[in-house]
Amino acid sequence: MSAAATQEKSSGSKINLGAFFIEARALVALAIIIVIFASMSDTYLSVGNLVTVAKDVAFNAIIALGMLMVILHSGIDLSVGSTVGLTGAVAGTLFQGLHLPLTDAVMYPSIWVIVVIAVAVGMLVGWVNGLLIARLNLAPFIVTLGMLYVGRGLTQVLLDGTNITNELRGQEELGNTGFFEVFASSPLGVPISAWVMVAVAIAFSIILTRTPFGRWLYAIGSNERAAALSGVPVNQVKTRVYVLTGLCAGIVGMLQIANIRSSTADLGEFYELNAIAAVVIGGAALSGGRGTVRGTIIGAFVIGFLTNGLVIVGVSPFWQTVITGAVIILAVAVDQIQQILQRRQAQARAVAEARRESGKVPVGPGGHEGPPPEQT
């Protein structure tokens, strides 16, 4: 029996080691990518290029953090890309000035008012998503797919076939200048989007680990019925999660129109897919209940360093797309393997326990002595 126990132990630790590597796979993948490209190009790890990577990763990572929240509850939000475009268009429209009804007056809000209104529109979109999903029990995929079209359409309505570019600069006499000076700045040489990413990551990390809301979110994603029976306000949590996603999209909308110095109708297209990829590469389960802020950030950096590296070493543009897609599939495949391993591990543990317990009863191996049947 002691021999069996040690055997169990050693095989158990082997599984643990394997599981560790898979758990840390995103980090391993990141390291591999960096080493490979750094060996192929001197400029890859130059400060300039790292700043470039950080800026691009930040946009995707902020969206991905919002996406993480919905994926944790086993939902999905396909509308974030459109929401980025919409909030950008709202801000652009406000920079053009608001025609007050019944008068000839045009109001020019200051930039902070504009930013708050635009981001609030993003949160409103999320709130509508959340209400439809939580209260009417509609499938997140369908609701947010619909919202993807609604948001993109509204963006086009607002922009009406033109880009809003010059107005974003603002005019001294209107008192709405300074947008680029804040939202396209680089404090301490690091792009503002990277700072915002860090701030959002810290905030979401605290929300997920240090508040009941975070605990509830994980619980709902893992087992909604059990969570509901434990008194978790499921609908409220779900609704708020989509508001958070909308908030992230709104923030990126502001940063991105400052980055490209224009509000365009196509802004944000396919952002949702890059964000989902980052979340999944970061180890989250699309079925919900599993995923971390840290993993998601790493996932975004994996994509960022990969796409950047492919450009830097001069891989043909068509092949870049193929390789990026393959890496995402690989990540999902590893995700599945991880779950299979974990299940096996749990079973092995249970069987080991069974052996240990049945070992206490002094019976011969394989024999199962039933208790005497007669009793009254």
Partner 1 sequence: MKLKSMAAIATTAIVSVSLTSCGDAGGEGEGGGEIAIITVDPANPYWAAEVSRAEELAEELGYEYSVGAHENDPDEQTRLMETAINNDVDGILLDPAGADESIAIVEQAVDADIPVSLVNAEISETGLAEAQFISDNAQGAAAGAEVWAEAMGYEGTYVELIGEPSDNNAPVRSEGYESVLSQYPDMEKVGEEIANWDRQEGQTAMEQLLSRNPDIDGVISGNDEMALGAVNALDEAGRLDEVEVLGFDGSNDAAEAVADGKLVASVLQPIDEATTQSLEVLDEVIRTGESSVEEEKVALDCILITEENAEDLQDFVLED
Partner 2 sequence: MSAAVSGSPATGQPTHHEATGSDGVVLRAVDISKTYGATRALKGVNFDVSAGKVTVLFGENGAGKSTLMKILSGVEQPTAGYLELDGERVEFSSTTDAVDKGIAIIHQELNLNANLKVSDNIFLGREIASVRGIHYAEQALATRDLMKRLEEPISPDAFVRDLRVGQQQIVEIARALSTDARILIMDEPTSALSSAEVQVLFKIIRELQRQGVAIVYISHHLEEALEIADHAVVFRDGELVATERASAIDLGWVVRTMVGREADYDFREEAREHGDVVLSIQDVTVADTVSGKFPVDHVSLDVKEGEIVCLFGLMGAGRTELMEALSGRDELAGGRVLLTDHDLAGLNVADRIDLGMGLVPEDRQRDGIIQMQSVGKNMSLASLSSWVRRGFMAVRGENRDIKSQMTRLGVKAEGPEAPITALSGGNAQKVVIGKMLAAQPRVLLLDDPTRGVDVGAKGEIFSLLFSRAGEGLAVLFVTSDVGEALNASHRIVVMDRGQVVTEFDPRHATREEVMAAAEGSGGQPAASTTAEEEGGPR
Interface with partner 1 (CB under 8 A): 41, 43-44, 46, 48-49, 52, 55-56, 155-156, 159-163, 165-166, 256, 259-262, 264-267, 269, 307-308, 311-312, 314, 317-318
CB count within 10 Å of CB 354 equals 10
Judged on CB neighbours under 10 Å (0-12, 13-18, 19+), 345 is middle
Q: How far apart are CA 59 and CA 80, in angstroms?
A: 12
Q: Write down the residue that tokens 């060996």 correspond to.
A: 39
To partner 1, the closest distance from the beta carbon of 261 in angstroms equals 6
CB closer to partner 1 out of 35 and 202: 35
Segment near partner 2 (CB under 8 A); pick from 136-144, 264-272, 313-321, 341-349:
341-349
To partner 2, the closest distance from the beta carbon of 360 in angstroms equals 11
Rule CB under 8 A: say whether 48 interacts with partner 2: no
CB closer to partner 2 out of 17 and 102: 17
The contact mask relative to partner 2 for 221-260 (x = CB under 8 A, - = no) is xxx-xxxxxxxxx---------------------------
Rule CB under 8 A: say whether 371 interacts with partner 2: yes
Residue burial 119-136, b: 16+ Cβ < 10 Å; e: rest? bbbbbbbbbbbbbbbbee
From the list 172, 173, 314, 368, which residue makes contact with partner 2 (rule: CB under 8 A)?
Answer: 368
Q: Which tokens sit at 154?
A: 């509204």
Partner that binds at residue 162, options partner 2, partner 1, none, CB closer than 5 to 8 Å by kind: partner 1
Q: How far apart are CA 265 and CA 156, in angstroms?
A: 6
Question: Which residues neighbour 361 within 8 Å (Cβ) at sequence distance 6 or greater?
Answer: 369
User: What amino acid is encoded at 210 in this protein?
Assistant: R
To partner 2, the closest distance from the beta carbon of 182 in angstroms equals 28
Distance of CA 170 to the CA centre of its chain: 33
Q: Write down the residue that tokens 């079973």 correspond to.
A: 347
Q: How far apart are CA 325 and CA 155, in angstroms?
A: 28
Rule CB under 8 A: say whether 366 interacts with partner 2: yes
Partner that binds at residue 212, options partner 2, partner 1, none, CB closer than 5 to 8 Å by kind: partner 2
Question: Which residues neighbour 224 within 8 Å (Cβ) at sequence distance 6 or greater?
Answer: 74, 234
DSSP for 257-317, please give it: HHHHTSB-TTTTTTHHHHHHHHHHHTT--TTSS---HHHHHHHHHHHHHHHHHHHHTT--H
Partner that binds at residue 266, options partner 2, partner 1, none, CB closer than 5 to 8 Å by kind: partner 1
**Among candidates 58, 79, 92, which has minimal Cα distance to 149?**
79
To partner 2, the closest distance from the beta carbon of 223 in angstroms equals 5
Helix and strand numbers (H, E) in the chain are: 14, 2
CB closer to partner 1 out of 165 and 345: 165
Q: Write down the residue that tokens 């297209």 correspond to.
A: 269
Rule CB under 8 A: say whether 373 interacts with partner 2: yes
Partner that binds at residue 25, options partner 1, partner 2, none, CB closer than 5 to 8 Å by kind: none
Partner that binds at residue 43, options partner 1, partner 2, none, CB closer than 5 to 8 Å by kind: partner 1
To partner 2, the closest distance from the beta carbon of 376 in angstroms equals 7
CB closer to partner 2 out of 32 and 346: 346
Q: Which residues in the 196-225 window bind partner 2 by CB under 8 A?
A: 206, 209-212, 215-216, 218-219, 221-223, 225
Partner that binds at residue 362, options partner 2, partner 1, none, CB closer than 5 to 8 Å by kind: none
Question: Which residues neighbour 103 within 8 Å (Cβ) at sequence distance 6 or greater?
Answer: none
Partner that binds at residue 7, options partner 2, partner 1, none, CB closer than 5 to 8 Å by kind: none
Segment near partner 2 (CB under 8 A); pick from 191-199, 253-261, 316-324, 351-359:
351-359
DSSP for 17-56, please give it: HHHHHHHTHHHHHHHHHHHHHHHH-SSTTSHHHHHHHHHH
- Binding interface with partner 2 (CB under 8 A): 206, 209-212, 215-216, 218-219, 221-223, 225-233, 289-290, 346-347, 349-351, 353-354, 358, 365-376
